[in-house]
Amino acid sequence: MAKASEAEVVEKLKSLEGWKLEGKSISKKYELPSFLDAISFVNKVAGLAEEADHHPDIVINYRRVTLTLSTHSEDGITQKDFDLAKKIDIDKEGKLDG
Percentage of the chain exceeding pLDDT 90: 88
pLDDT in tens, the chain (98 residues): 799 999 999 999 999 999 999 999 999 999 999 999 999 999 999 999 999 999 999 999 999 999 999 999 999 999 999 999 999 986 555 566 54
What is the CATH code for 6-88?
3.30.1360.20
| Distance set, CA 63 to CA 56, 87, 90 (Å) | 18, 20, 14
Nearest to 6 by CA among 28, 27, 23, 30: 23
pLDDT attached to residue 11: 96
Q: Mind listing the pLDDT tens digit for each residue in 59-77?
A: 999 999 999 999 999 999 9
Neighbours of 78 (CB within 10 A): 19
Rg (the chain; Cα; Å): 13
DSSP string, 78-92: -HHHHHHHHHH-B-T
DSSP string, 27-49: EEEEE-SSHHHHHHHHHHHHHHH
